[in-house]
Structure 1
Amino acid sequence: MAAKKLIKNGIIVTASDQYEADILIDGETISSIGLNLSSADAEVIDAKGCYIFPGAIDPHTHLDMPFGGTVTKDDFESGTMAAAFGGTTSIIDFCLTEKGRPLKDAIKTWHEKSKDKAVIDYSFHLMIGEMNETVMKELPQVIEKEGITSFKVFMAYKNVFQADDATLFHTLKAAKDLGALVMVHAENGDVIDYLTKEALENGNTDPIYHALTRPPEVEGEATGRAAQLTSLADSQLYVVHVSCAEAVEKIAEARNKGVEIWGETCPQYLALDKSYLEKPNFEGAKYVWSPPLRDKWHQEVLWNALKSGQLQTLGSDQCSFDFEGQKTLGKGDFTKIPNGGPMIEDRVSILFSEGVKKGRISINQFVDIVSTRVAKLFGMFPKKGTISVGADADIVIFDPNHERVISATTHHMAVDYNAFEGMKITGEPVSVLVRGDFVVRDKQFVGKAGSGQYIKRNRYGAASQLKQNETLSI
């Protein structure tokens, strides 16, 4: 049980408020918030000059994940440690399934991957690659026993992960009845397959062709198709890693028609662009992930969508592979470059620096995007995602004025490069607590592998759920 702690002199920021107050932590939860609090047996923590945010929640990670003949470099230990340094106190990782095998086998595998490793709290999304009677019989138990209330369907990666429209529609119908949220990787895998074969036949093998064979139109088309199927099923949809104007347009169009659809983007799409894939000496391979980076003008579309509420969350899509020995597997054939990048550590600071500091979003929107909305959409609120009495003491003490340069020489991920190398940002977590215990204190790791707990989540649409027609007061 965590000892009592009293955080004083900081400025508390939630999705709706900003105020000066003290926070008393008793055990794992927040027991009191107020001015001039005192407790004789509490350790006093001075947060003067800092914001106090609810712990950020990363809704999109791939730790210890097999892909393309290799496995992601960061596992549940190094990945969650890096997340903690970045101000993230909970993650939701993607549990991959295999056709023809029980869902429970895949979930067991992911529990084994994370056991005794995570230093922050974690949960799982479940991939749905097929929909039949066997799967349908398992889903209620997945929700009841495991607390997994979100299902992922891939519309891309033909002959690997891609599901057909019937599977997506069936999943949407099932999720409506079961109280689950369907997530889609929205790219037209069939068209990508055609364009990829065409590029290789023409001898176009460099990393830039990863982007050129996955143009924005294939993301926009798949997003629109998924939205239409969601409307037809009268269900709910969450579009992961939105990268382009075409997809934003389809989400906004559907939301305006009353479709219950949500959109996530990622820091790489807000801060990097397609030109990075053209770096010489195969360095472009470091920036190969799906959807690919876009022309720079798409960045402002994404920022405006976050500001206006057309996009609501920021995931990292953490999926790290070393440049040497993993990304280099694709030399001479861009299709063999493992897709993914190291994003888990810098997600929160980039949104603060590029968003709040540059006036693109408000500080309350920032908290909503990195924490509160995720907690509400994925059945973790109000234990997670806010600072309130009774909530888990997942707290980030954040220095809004510290300037630093992002670099692989100072990051805490296991991977051998940083996608944001050399980027100057303002704002950094100083200390991070998970359920009342420090994981990072004064920028030093003080956590313990295995201290992170598995989170069983509530159904989508629970009483605490933020409905689509609610507006965030700013």
Structure 2
Amino acid sequence: MTAVWVRGGMIVTASDVFAGDVWIEDGVIRQVGVVRPSGEAHIIDAPGMYVMPGAIDEHTHMGMPFNGTVSADWDTETIAAAIGGTTTIVDFAIQRRGGTLVEAIETWRNKADGRTAIDYGLHVAITDPRPEVIAEIPEAVKRGVTTVKVFMAYKGEMMVDDTALFQTLLAAREVGALVMIHAENGDAVVLLQDRLYEANKRAPRYHAESRPLEVEAEATRRAIALAKLADAPLFIVHVTGREPMEEIRRARHRGQRVYGETCPQYLLLDESYLVLPGFEGAKYVCSPPLRHASHQEALWTALAEGVLQTIGTDHCSFNFREQKHMGRDDFRKIPNGLNGIENWVQLIYTYGVCQGRISLSRMVDLISTQPAKLMGLYPRKGTLAVGADADLLIYDPSGSTTITAQTQHQNSDYNAYEGFVVQGKPQWVLLRGNVIVQEGKHVGTLQDGRFVPCSPYSAAYGEKAPFDSRQLQAELVDA
């Protein structure tokens, strides 16, 4: 493999911003800062551009069955991700009812391998928590899947009860897995949904009314309490507003190992989109739902202050005309999910960094370094350091563009951020030293991406990890 020399850019890490170069050999970063070339190289000149680690989207749903349909798949969505500056995703392998965790992991790997433009890791979601399934968690960790998702919502489909959640927390802690929570009170949601439907309130707007902020805050508080009892770390996904965020803040203030993520839609969109004329509001149906705009600044502040540690897209893309219309007469049947993986980096840069809400280094921390650390990918991913994979995002901050579905690469007939003006764009993207995006165009293949095993006892455990993660990994592999 030819060496690559990225020169003349502004290097951005989670802690520093400085002028310098990056030298890459064999897909790995060999020098950062002052580079002394050791031979011929492919040169990428990056004056006036930011050179940062590729974005890591730790929350995606590629080709996921839901509500009788399937979300947009790996081949189109990972190309869109690459164009947008993402070099690694962590997708959710969903256990089927009656199935096993190993089966889910193998199914998702079969879906992805040979059909992904970027690297990927996996979470596994427990939806049928039989005792023998929870007992599989060590095997999942052995296979490099060290994050376990539990849904407190979607009753009758994916929801688990408190007993199963507590058992999962206990079992995960024993082998260094991190439990991720979709926090909504599923019992209350079903009752509210049925009451609204019976009252002939069936439009998209009532999706949000059936899932008020209180059901998210209550489930967040309950999950935190169970994690404290289990002495296990906890990761709350897609935090939408002030009340659930404050539950995380209070837990962290007490010294509890609780971590949180929010998403671009909760930072930039609000519940007014759900009442667009006709059925247009269905485009914006996701769970938890969009909230009042007053919650947005609280979330930005939480990101800046470290109350929330990551941003993930929760990319789960459905077409409007065919799939969202499945709920034309019943909001309960609208497939939940938004697109956004193509533009999320630009959105966070424009409305976070450029508007002074977060620093450039904090952005890198939120979209790359912290996801890598919490998911067990660091230091291989998420940083520009000697020995790390040469996953680079070279971002040109000049110029602006308007987001529109007409020019997107996501396989969708709409874009959730239609009309948003964004500053700059990813110019080059490198995956393990290979240029996969050049001057904003995808030049790679669907064979470029690989499965990346995650390590147990990630940063979520801090100094409370019972023993060295490398020793545990060796024991699991040898078993």
TM-score of the superposed pair, with normalisation by structure 1: 0.96
Q: How many residues align?
A: 465
Whether the 8 Å contact between 1:22 and 1:37 is mirrored in structure 2 is no
Residues 102-111 or 381-390, more deviating? 102-111
Counterpart position of 2:133? 135
CA positional deviation for 1:47: 0.4
Aligned mates of 1:394, 1:354 — CA distance in 2: 24
Assess, with a 3 A threshold, how the Cα gap between structure 1 residues 466 and 262 changes in structure 2: closer, same or farther: farther
Assess, with a 3 A threshold, how the Cα gap between structure 1 residues 398 and 465 changes in structure 2: closer, same or farther: farther
Alignment of 1:263-278 (within 5 A): 263-278=260-275
Letter in 2 for 1:34: G
Assess, with a 3 A threshold, how the Cα gap between structure 1 residues 464 and 245 changes in structure 2: closer, same or farther: closer
Counterpart position of 1:90? 88
Assess, with a 3 A threshold, how the Cα gap between structure 1 residues 462 and 251 changes in structure 2: closer, same or farther: closer
Whether the 8 Å contact between 2:264 and 2:347 is mirrored in structure 1 is yes
Counterpart position of 1:22? 21
Counterpart position of 2:309? 312
Counterpart position of 1:71? 70
Aligned mates of 2:94, 2:454 — CA distance in 1: 18
Letter in 2 for 1:15: A
Counterpart position of 2:104? 106
Assess, with a 3 A threshold, how the Cα gap between structure 1 residues 13 and 251 changes in structure 2: closer, same or farther: same
Task: Give 5+ residue unaligned stretches, structure 1.
Answer: 469-474
Counterpart position of 1:148? 145
CA positional deviation for 1:346: 1.3
CA positional deviation for 1:140: 1.3
Whether the 8 Å contact between 2:137 and 2:172 is mirrored in structure 1 is no
Whether the 8 Å contact between 1:288 and 1:341 is mirrored in structure 2 is yes
| SS at structure 2 position matched to 1:409 | helix
Whether the 8 Å contact between 2:213 and 2:241 is mirrored in structure 1 is yes
Assess, with a 3 A threshold, how the Cα gap between structure 1 residues 373 and 466 changes in structure 2: closer, same or farther: farther
CA positional deviation for 1:39: 4.2
Aligned mates of 2:445, 2:262 — CA distance in 1: 30
Aligned mates of 2:167, 2:158 — CA distance in 1: 17
Counterpart position of 2:209? 212
Counterpart position of 2:164? 167
| SS at structure 1 position matched to 2:407 | coil
Aligned mates of 2:22, 2:102 — CA distance in 1: 41
Aligned mates of 2:50, 2:348 — CA distance in 1: 15
Letter in 1 for 2:243: E
1:386-438: per-residue Cα shift (whole Å, max 9, x none)?
A: 00111000000001222111111111101110000000111211010000001
* Alignment match of 2:253 (pick from 250, 253, 256): 256
Counterpart position of 2:44? 45
Whether the 8 Å contact between 1:378 and 1:460 is mirrored in structure 2 is no
Assess, with a 3 A threshold, how the Cα gap between structure 1 residues 397 and 461 changes in structure 2: closer, same or farther: closer
1:329-388: per-residue Cα shift (whole Å, max 9, x none)?
A: 111111111000111111111111100000001111100000000100011111100001
* Alignment partner of 1:10 is 2:9: yes
Identity of aligned residues (%): 48
Counterpart position of 1:327? 324
Aligned mates of 1:267, 1:453 — CA distance in 2: 26
Aligned mates of 2:77, 2:413 — CA distance in 1: 13
Residues 413-422 or 97-106, more deviating? 97-106
Aligned mates of 1:102, 1:151 — CA distance in 2: 13
Whether the 8 Å contact between 2:49 and 2:395 is mirrored in structure 1 is yes
CA positional deviation for 1:443: 0.8
Aligned mates of 1:294, 1:463 — CA distance in 2: 28
Residues 385-394 or 31-40, more deviating? 31-40
CA positional deviation for 1:99: 3.1
Counterpart position of 1:116? 114
1:220-271: per-residue Cα shift (whole Å, max 9, x none)?
A: 0000110111111100100001001111011101111111010000000100
* Alignment match of 1:221 (pick from 215, 218, 223): 218
Letter in 2 for 1:215: P
Q: Spell out structure 1 runs of 4+ moving beyond 4 A.
A: 462-468
Aligned mates of 1:361, 1:342 — CA distance in 2: 23
Counterpart position of 2:189? 192
* Alignment match of 1:452 (pick from 428, 449, 454): 449
Aligned mates of 1:92, 1:229 — CA distance in 2: 25
CA positional deviation for 1:461: 3.6
Residues 101-110 or 179-188, more deviating? 101-110
Whether the 8 Å contact between 2:127 and 2:157 is mirrored in structure 1 is no
1:90-122: per-residue Cα shift (whole Å, max 9, x none)?
A: 000000002332222111111111021001000
Counterpart position of 2:368? 371
* Alignment match of 2:282 (pick from 267, 281, 285): 285
Task: Give 5+ residue unaligned stretches, structure 2.
Answer: 466-479
